Amino acid sequence: MDRSQTVIRKVVDSLCKENGVAALVLAGSRVKGNRFSPDEFSDIELYIVAFDENFEEIKKKIQSIQETFVKKDVILAYKNQWAGWSVLFTDLLRLELPLVKSSDAEVFARSKEQRIEILYSKPGFILKHGSIKKTNKIKSQERTMKEVVSDFWYMAVYAVQHIGRREIWIAREAVRISMQGKVKRLLQEIYHKDTLVLEIDRRIELTWSKEELAILRETSCSYDRNDLIRSFWANVKYAKELFIKLGDGDREFKKYEQELTPKIKDILKK
């Protein structure tokens, strides 16, 4: 039994004895058959499903899970932002323990590419898998793309105004998150739509082409003002190209580009 399996087994053996635990569910690359195989850097993503009435009780129990292991083997253990518990071991193995309620069907509403493995389940308990909601793709995409165009240009003006104030940090955040983030999303819509649900961007260097990665490099920027401006225009360039490829939102994009570009250039000259 390898190191990760030993850790998983200890957690399961400890928590399955708790009356409030309905199920223990393994997710992520540690599940056999998932898109990515685990490597030396992979974490353990083990969901703890608690009966609703026992949720708070199990939350407290999880916060002492590190006591299951030899103290010298644990570097830290803390409550993470997903209302669960994280443990970091001395060999840098990471254990993630998200805590969810048994009534929450959406947690395991996943595509067939995202397999899970039920490691333990209370007798008679049936895990709610839920279902991924289907929408009218054409209407949904048209509406979404128009919103993306509007937001892209709104945040472009926001970024430029901060560049004009010499507030480079916040301007860079606007370019990186709101402008480049949308360029990345458009690349996913065009080239990686089948794996969007897998949050493929976490493995972007392993799954994207050299050409796609080159776009991300060109649209990235440092805290240098000139480099920030260069990146700004690179994001405008690629957003336009990608909207044209999608054939949706490009007309509205060009309209805003024509109207806003002279005003943006005036600000950047100052």
How confident is the prediction along the chain (270 residues), in pLDDT tens digits per residue? 689 999 999 999 999 999 999 999 999 889 998 877 888 888 999 999 999 999 999 999 999 999 999 999 999 999 887 668 999 999 999 999 999 999 987 788 766 667 899 999 999 998 887 655 544 443 444 446 778 898 999 999 999 999 999 999 999 999 999 999 999 989 988 888 766 655 545 678 888 899 999 999 999 999 999 999 999 999 999 999 999 998 877 888 999 999 999 999 999 987
Q: What values do phi and psi take at 119, rounded to 5? A: -85, -25
Could you give the residue range(s) of every CATH 1.20.120.330 domain in the chain?
137-269
Does the predicted model carry a pTM greater than 0.85? Answer: no
CATH superfamily of 3-121: Beta Polymerase, domain 2 (3.30.460.10)
The secondary structure of residue 177, as a DSSP letter, is: I
First to last CA, the chain: 65
Fold of 137-269: Four Helix Bundle (Hemerythrin (Met), subunit A) (1.20.120)
67 and 11 in contact (C-beta within 8 Å)? no
Q: What values do phi and psi take at 182, rounded to 5? A: -75, -35
239 and 186 in contact (C-beta within 8 Å)? yes
